[in-house]
C-alpha cells in the first residue's frame, strides 16, 4: 500500500485511484555550492531503494494492479531509464517486460543503463528508429493482449505522481527545509515530470516557475505536449474530486531548447564539465543524456539570479 502523500492530503478522494508503493518519500533537498554559486537540489534520484528517479514515481500509478505472471510492454531509447525502471519494478511484482528500443547516440551513462537493461534479462529488441520501435511495441501489445506502459510514463495517470511531487516540494518549503525558489529547473523528455510539477505548484499556490530543459527531440519535448498533459491531468483530478483545478500561468512555465545539442543521448562538453563541478562538491553524479544538460541551465540561472534556484535531479546515479 502506498504511504500517505500531499496529493491525498489535498485531494482525499484521489486515494480511490489505484496506486502501489515503490518509493520512499519525500525525497530530500540539499544545498550545494558549485563554483561559488548556491543551488538547491531536489534529490529525486534516491526516491527508491531499487531504481529511483522520476520514472519510479510514475510507475506507482502505472503498475497498480499488476499481478505475478503478467506481461507488460513498453518502448524507449536504447539507454532509456524508463525501460530500466519499468523492468526493475515490474520484476519486483513478479511480472515480465517486453520492450522495443531504438538506437541513438550513446554516452557512457547511457551505455551503463543499456547494460543494466540487458542484465535484467528483459525481452528487448533494438530498432533503427523510434517509430519502428513504438509500432513494434504496439503490435506486441495487441498480439499478447498485454498492458502497455506508455513512453516515459507520460499520461495523465502517470503525471499524477509528479503533481504529488510538486505538492511534496511545497510541503518542504512550508516546513522550512528550503526557501521558496524563484524557479525549478528540470529535464524535459516526454513531458510528464514537467507537467506534473508545474500543476502541483499551481495547486499549492507557490509562485515558482518551472523551467523545462529539452533533452529529447522537439517532436516530443515541446510546450504544446506539456500543456496537453497538464490539461489532461487537471481533467482527471477534477473528474475524481469534483473540484475546480487551477491553471498553470503562462509566465510560470518556460522551455529552454539551447542545451539539447541536436541529438538525444549526445554528450555535450559544457554539460559534462558542469556535472564534474557538482561531483567535486557532493556525492551527486549526473548523466549526460538528461540531468547534466538541465544542470547547465540551472547553474547559469542560479549564477545570475538573486532569488534561489532549485535543480530537480531525476536521475538515479547509483546506476553508474
**What is the per-residue pLDDT across 5-64, written as a single tens digit (0 to 9) for each?**
999 999 999 999 999 999 999 999 999 999 999 999 999 999 999 999 999 999 999 999
Which pLDDT band holds residue 4 (cuts at 50, 70, 90)? low
Compute how many other C-beta atoms are within 10 angstroms of the C-beta atom of residue 202: 23
pTM of the model: 0.96
Assess if CATH 3.90.79.10 describes domain 6-49+154-319: no
* CATH among 3.40.50.150, 1.10.540.10, 3.40.50.1100, 3.30.70.360 for 56-152: 3.40.50.1100
Share above pLDDT 90 across residues of the chain, in percent, rounded to a whole number:
94
| Residue ranges with strand state E in 85-172 | 96-102, 123-127, 147-149
Q: What is the pLDDT of residue 241?
A: 98
Residue 126, judged by CB atoms within 10 A of its CB (0-12, 13-18, 19+), counts as middle
Residues 6+ apart with CB under 8 A from 148: 72, 73, 74, 137, 138, 141
In angstroms, how far is the first alpha carbon of the chain from the final one? 30
User: What does the pLDDT look like over 95-128, one tens digit per residue?
Assistant: 999 999 999 999 999 999 999 999 987 788 889 9
Q: Name the average pLDDT for the chain.
A: 96
Mean pLDDT of 234-251: 98
For every residue of 150-164, DSSP letters joined together read -GGG-SHHHHHHHHH
**258 touches 250 (CB < 8 A):** no
Residues of the chain with CATH 3.40.50.1100: 6-49+154-319, 56-152
Cα separation, 318 vs 320, whole angstroms: 5
Average pLDDT over residues 90-98: 96
Amino acid at each position: 500500500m502506498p504511504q500517505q502523500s500531499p496529493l491525498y492530503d489535498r485531494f482525499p478522494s484521489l486515494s480511490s485511484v489505484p496506486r502501489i508503493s515503490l518509493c520512499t518519500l519525500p525525497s530530500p533537498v540539499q544545498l550545494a555550492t558549485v563554483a561559488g554559486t548556491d543551488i538547491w537540489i531536489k534529490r529525486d534520484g534516491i526516491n527508491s531503494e531499487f531504481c529511483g528517479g522520476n520514472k519510479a514515481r510514475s510507475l506507482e500509478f502505472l503498475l497498480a494492479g499488476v499481478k505475478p505472471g503478467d506481461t507488460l510492454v513498453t518502448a524507449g531509447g536504447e539507454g532509456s531509464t524508463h525501460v530500466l525502471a519499468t523492468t526493475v519494478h515490474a520484476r519486483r511484482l513478479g511480472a515480465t517486460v517486453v520492450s522495443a528500443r531504438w538506437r541513438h547516440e550513446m554516452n557512457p551513462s547511457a551505455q551503463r543503463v543499456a547494460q543494466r537493461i540487458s542484465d535484467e534479462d528483459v525481452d528487448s529488441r533494438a530498432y533503427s528508429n523510434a517509430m519502428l520501435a513504438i509500432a513494434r511495441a504496439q503490435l506486441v501489445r495487441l498480439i499478447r493482449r498485454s498492458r502497455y506502459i506508455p513512453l516515459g510514463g507520460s499520461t495523465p495517470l502517470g503525471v499524477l505522481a509528479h503533481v504529488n511531487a510538486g505538492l511534496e516540494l511545497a510541503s518542504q518549503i512550508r516546513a522550512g527545509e528550503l526557501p521558496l525558489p524563484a524557479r525549478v529547473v528540470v529535464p524535459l523528455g516526454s513531458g510528464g515530470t514537467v507537467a506534473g510539477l508545474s500543476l502541483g505548484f499551481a495547486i499549492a499556490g507557490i509562485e515558482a516557475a518551472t523551467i523545462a530543459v529539452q533533452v529529447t527531440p522537439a517532436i516530443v519535448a515541446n510546450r504544446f505536449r506539456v500543456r496537453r498533459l497538464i490539461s489532461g491531468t487537471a481533467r482527471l483530478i477534477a473528474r475524481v474530486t469534483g473540484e475546480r483545478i487551477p491553471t498553470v500561468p503562462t509566465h510560470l512555465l518556460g522551455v529552454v531548447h539551447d542545451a539539447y545539442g541536436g541529438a538525444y543521448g549526445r554528450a555535450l562538453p559544457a554539460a559534462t564539465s558542469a556535472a564534474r563541478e557538482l561531483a567535486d562538491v557532493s556525492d551527486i553524479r549526473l548523466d549526460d543524456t538528461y540531468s547534466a544538460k538541465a544542470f547547465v541551465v540551472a547553474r547559469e540561472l542560479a549564477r545570475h539570479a538573486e532569488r534561489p534556484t532549485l535543480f530537480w535531479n531525476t536521475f538515479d546515479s547509483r546506476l553508474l
